[in-house]
Structure 1
């Protein structure tokens, strides 16, 4: 199963009773395992969880720490991009050259690197003091 197919499959399990906008995400970790997540809304906006954050949490819970590829899918006219917060979360675990493929249910997709999605990302180097 492709990473986009895994994202498409988990998207169907999303809990989105308020927005009706289901999102699925799948990532491949450095160990080759695929981890998935879907968005989970909450009536107390903005207390929901994004699909990408769910996939990252599943990866960490399994003990993996490095992302080598990401796929995100939603039912929209244009490929669904990770929100700003999820871009930062992805950047925490992925090298700048890691690819993120964003797709639609109709089959449109675009692929960018983490660096293209989040130029000038805040990283561990910013935490260093002189």
Structure 2
């Protein structure tokens, strides 16, 4: 699947965002290594700690369906610039692959691609838990 198609699916997912407090809509689309796509949007809650990001929504949908090998994740928003995964989302992405490509796009269609390791260098992982 091409990056532009994954971005398109993330934009479609963004339409479902529930953001009554921030009005900041985000969409994400995760591509598994076997070619499946899972989408997600951000979902806010009046108790802000209960809010879930679009990236984790998409990842958790994939993981709950038994997929744990990811090739890429596209992240989009209504923002003029690029919207990157937050720290918690970066940690979850790294959990399932430091080589996962993270594709970000502006409203105008400019695209940048990074690996999870590039966005979260020196990450904490399962290796750190080994004795």
**Match among 101, 104, 123 for residue 102 of structure 1:** 104
Check if 1:15 corresponds to 2:18: yes
Gaps of 5+ in 1: none
Deviation at residue 77 of structure 1 after TM alignment: 2.0
Structure 2: stretches of 5+ with no match in the other structure: none
- Matching of residue 89 in structure 1 with residue 95 in structure 2: no
Match in the other structure for 1:63: 66
Q: Is 1:51 aligned with 2:43?
A: no
Helix, strand or coil at the partner of 2:104: strand
Distance 2:94 2:43 in 1: 22
Q: Name the SS of the counterpart of 1:2 in structure 2.
A: helix
TM-score normalised to structure 1 length: 0.93
Alignment of 1:67-78 (within 5 A): 67-78=70-81
Following superposition, the deviation at residue 98 of structure 1 comes to 2.3
TM-score (norm. length: structure 2): 0.93
Aligned counterpart, 1:113? 115
Runs of 4+, deviation exceeding 3 Å: none
Quote the offset at 1:56 in angstroms: 0.8
Q: Displacement of 1:93 after TM fit?
A: 1.1
Q: Secondary structure at the match of 1:46?
A: helix
Aligned partners of 1:38 and 1:97: how far apart in 2? 23
Which structure has greater strand proportion? 1
Q: Distance in 2 between matches of 1:46 and 1:73?
A: 22
